[in-house]
Structure 1
């Protein structure tokens, strides 16, 4: 098992931050075949071997991903790609 935690600061309004979170989710869902659903300000996602969440807060977003045994071998590549996508969508604060 591998855990990935990424925090990205932002200067967006709550609505814009949620829209940006949905963009990240759409990209990741398409690339990794994830199912996504919102619960309040937290976007939950999962598929076999992967589950996690993207929490939208006032000045930052936090993504937590738990990878199963087989997917844990790809943790460094997944973390790098997700970090890059989050920086591109949310920008530096």
Structure 2
């Protein structure tokens, strides 16, 4: 197993931060066939071999992804793509 942890600072209003988080989730869903749901200010997502959360805090988004064995081989590439997406959507 491999874990990915990304912390992205932002200066968005809560509703803008939630929309940005949803964009990240939509991209993850598209690329990795994940299902997601909101639980307060935490977006939970999963599929076989992958699960994680995207937590919204004031001025910060915290992403945690746990990758199962087969997918963990691609952890570096996944982290790079997700970090880039988070930088773009939370810098608006």
Using structure 1 for the length normalisation, give the TM-score.
0.96
Q: Find the counterpart in structure 1 of residue 76 from structure 2.
A: 76
User: Any runs of at least 4 consecutive aligned residues in structure 1 with deviations exceeding 6 A, and if so which?
Assistant: none
Q: Find the counterpart in structure 1 of residue 61 from structure 2.
A: 61
Runs (5+) with no aligned partner, structure 2: none
CA–CA separation in structure 2 for the residues paired with 1:72 and 1:31: 15
Following superposition, the deviation at residue 80 of structure 1 comes to 0.3
CA displacement 1:40-59 (0-9 Å, x = unmatched): 00000001110000001111
CA–CA separation in structure 2 for the residues paired with 1:9 and 1:61: 6
Runs (5+) with no aligned partner, structure 1: none
CA displacement 1:15-54 (0-9 Å, x = unmatched): 1100110111111111110000000000000011100000
The root-mean-square deviation of aligned C-alpha atoms, in Å, is 1.0
CA–CA separation in structure 2 for the residues paired with 1:76 and 1:18: 26
Following superposition, the deviation at residue 91 of structure 1 comes to 1.5
